[in-house]
Amino acid sequence: MKLYTYAPAPNPRRVGLLMKYKGIELETQEIDMMAKEQLSPAFSAVNPRLTLPTLVLDDGTILSDTVAICAYLDDVFPDKPVFGKTGLQRAQIIGYCHQIFFEGFSAVGEVLRNKGKAFQDSPLPGPLKMPQIAELVERGNLRITAFFETMNTEVESKEYLVGDTVSQADIDLYVVLGFCGWVRRAIPEDCGALQTWFDNMKLKLGE
């Protein structure tokens, strides 16, 4: 199998940290997003959704959603599982990944991509062209504030989001909290539990 990625970008980082944590090595090709290589005909032939990460299996099957790639890699490389030890834990982890993607990643994306020239006509990842909407910057920032508060409550009495070891949910939360920095949003002072959780997770992930 082969992974197409761009290591610094947030969704690729979710896969990168999973691979680092589990000690997985794969054939990898970096697609330079700064040079907009993900929009090239060559990459379009690999993944017409034009998004990273993309995992192409040996039989040609394409996985182009981060959570699907992570779940698949966790299955193929079972040491240090990050999708739970029971069916319930697996469901809870997938639930958190979905929540973090929708309430966290997409809120930051809303702020990042609706202003400035870098994402002009491209406020959403992928091939769709449409205008930026300036008001979404303000709404995205409100969503980020709400996300900090929600996640602060989630980790108030927990070392890990689910169970007693690192899961994909922890990796995703760790990555999105870093991604908040791209829009100059830091964990607020009144979210002390979240800051403590983040500092501990940084050590656990060897970052």
Q: How far is the CB of 55 from ligand GSH (least distance, A)?
A: 10
Computed from CA positions of residues 104, 108, 111, 113, in that sequence, does the dihedral angle turn out positive or negative?
Answer: negative
Computed from CA positions of residues 19, 202, 91, 148, in that sequence, does the dihedral angle turn out positive or negative?
Answer: negative
Q: How far is the CB of 65 from ligand GSH (least distance, A)?
A: 4
Q: How far is the CB of 66 from ligand GSH (least distance, A)?
A: 3
Residues 11-50 that bind ligand GSH (CB under 6 A): 11, 38, 50
The token pair that represents 19 in the structure block: 């691979």
CB nearer to ligand GSH: pick between 66 and 152: 66
Q: How far is the CB of 164 from ligand GSH (least distance, A)?
A: 27
Nearest residue to 10 (alpha-carbon basis) of 198, 197, 178: 178
Q: Which residue is listed with tokens 């009144």?
A: 190
User: Does residue 55 bind ligand GSH (CB under 6 A)?
Assistant: no
The token pair that represents 195 in the structure block: 């800051």
Q: Are 40 and 86 in contact (CB under 8 A)?
A: no
Q: Are 127 and 168 in contact (CB under 8 A)?
A: no
Applying CB under 6 A, what is the total number of residues that bind ligand GSH? 10
Q: How far is the CB of 46 from ligand GSH (least distance, A)?
A: 12
CB nearer to ligand GSH: pick between 66 and 195: 66
Which residue of 66, 99, 152, 168 would you call a contact of ligand GSH, by CB under 6 A? 66
Which residue of 4, 5, 10, 97 would you call a contact of ligand GSH, by CB under 6 A? 10
Give the H/E segment covering residue 122.
none
Residue 168 one-letter amino acid: Q
Which residue of 51, 89, 114, 167 would you call a contact of ligand GSH, by CB under 6 A? 51
User: Does residue 125 bind ligand GSH (CB under 6 A)?
Assistant: yes
User: Does residue 140 bind ligand GSH (CB under 6 A)?
Assistant: no
Q: Are 166 and 204 in contact (CB under 8 A)?
A: yes
Q: Are 170 and 161 in contact (CB under 8 A)?
A: yes
Q: How far is the CB of 108 from ligand GSH (least distance, A)?
A: 10
- In b/e form, how buried is each residue of 120-132, taking b as 16+ CB within 10 angstroms? eebbebeeeeeeb
CB nearer to ligand GSH: pick between 81 and 123: 123
Q: Which positions touch ligand GSH (CB under 6 A)? A: 9-11, 38, 50-52, 65-66, 125
